[in-house]
């Protein structure tokens, strides 16, 4: 049996940031570690602000052959030359989004802790399924995506799976054998040296 490859890093932006300071921080992380994808995930819904951020980040990541997906805003994908969209509401909009964006767009679905929702999203045309949070978090209702969910998925389903939410060294080490990607965001951006913080998590994969 072939040895399983280590998971890849799927980077997520902070919910709010200043472009002038964030772009250099992002560049330092991208230059220090291999990153498979970047998700623009802003809490605000000011179209001009989101668009300016997307333009700046697209230039930064595309120069390194890294795709950029945006959280939720399907209508901005083609307009801003982005690579796809991350849907935070499970399988609900996957099929219509696939029809709207076509076969080349990356479409991901966050399915919380629901195996059923993940399977439905996959059948509807998602390119990856994200489950979480995988660590202890005071957000939401406190429910965590358990080890068994990732173990089952990696055994039974070919569609890539992403582990996200409240990651730490112990969680990364535990899930590394059974996930394809780790979505890493605030875990590193809240640290002074984001590249070093990401390096610590990567080292935990084994």
pLDDT of residue 3: 57
Which residues 6+ apart lie within 8 Å of 15 measured at CB? Answer: 41, 42, 43, 44
The stretch 51-62 carries a mean pLDDT of 98
Q: Per-residue pLDDT for 98 more than 70?
A: yes
Cβ-based burial of 162 (10 A; exposed 0-12, middle 13-18, buried ≥19): buried
* Token pair belonging to 82: 């982005």
Report if residue 154 sits inside a domain.
Answer: yes
Residue 157 near residue 119, CB atoms below 8 Å: yes
What angle, rounded to 10 degrees, do the helices at 19-32 and 194-204 form? 40
Confidence (pTM) = 0.96
Banded pLDDT at 2 (limits 50, 70, 90)? very low
Mean pLDDT within 111-135: 97
Q: 92 lies in a domain?
A: yes
Q: State the CB neighbour count (10 A cutoff) for residue 85.
A: 27
Q: What is the mean pLDDT of residues 93-99?
A: 98
How much is the average pLDDT of 78-95?
97
Query: 13: domain range?
Result: 8-204
The rounded distance, in Å, linking the Cα atoms of 169 and 160 is: 21
Query: Is residue 3 one of the residues assigned to a domain?
Result: no
Q: How many domains does the chain have?
A: 1
Tell me if 166 is assigned to some domain.
yes
What pLDDT is stored for residue 106 in this prediction? 98
Predicted confidence band at 122 (pLDDT cuts at 50, 70, 90)? very high
**Share above pLDDT 90 across residues of the chain, in percent, rounded to a whole number:** 92
Query: Is 2 contained in some domain?
Result: no
For residue 152, tell me if it sits in a domain: yes
Q: Is the pLDDT of residue 196 over 90?
A: yes
Which CATH number goes with the domain that contains 192? 3.20.20.70
User: Residue 28 falls within a domain, yes or no?
Assistant: yes
Beta-strand relationship, 181-184 and 128-131 = unpaired
pLDDT bucket at 44, cuts 50 / 70 / 90:
confident
pLDDT tens for residues 103-119? 999 999 999 999 999 99
Model pLDDT, residue 56:
97
Residue 35 domain flag: yes
């Amino acid at each position: 049996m072939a040895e399983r490859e280590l998971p890849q890093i799927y980077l997520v932006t902070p919910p709010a940031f200043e472009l002038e300071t964030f772009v250099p921080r992002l560049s330092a992380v991208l230059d220090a570690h291999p990153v498979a994808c970047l998700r623009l995930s802003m809490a605000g819904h000011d179209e001009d602000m989101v668009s300016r951020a997307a333009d700046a980040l697209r230039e930064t990541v595309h120069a390194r052959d890294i795709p950029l997906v945006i959280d939720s805003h399907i209508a901005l994908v083609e307009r801003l030359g982005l690579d796809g969209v991350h849907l935070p509401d499970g399988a609900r909009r996957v099929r219509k989004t696939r029809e709207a964006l076509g076969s080349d767009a990356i479409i991901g679905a966050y399915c919380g802790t629901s195996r059923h929702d993940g399977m439905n999203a996959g059948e509807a045309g998602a390119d990856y399924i994200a489950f979480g949070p995988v660590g202890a978090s005071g957000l939401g209702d406190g429910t965590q995506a358990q080890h068994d969910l990732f173990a089952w998925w990696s055994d039974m389903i070919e569609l890539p799976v992403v582990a996200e939410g409240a990651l730490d060294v112990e969680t990364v080490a535990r899930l590394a054998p059974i996930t394809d990607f780790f979505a890493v965001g605030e875990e590193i951006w809240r640290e002074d040296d984001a590249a070093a913080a990401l390096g610590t998590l990567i080292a935990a994969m084994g």
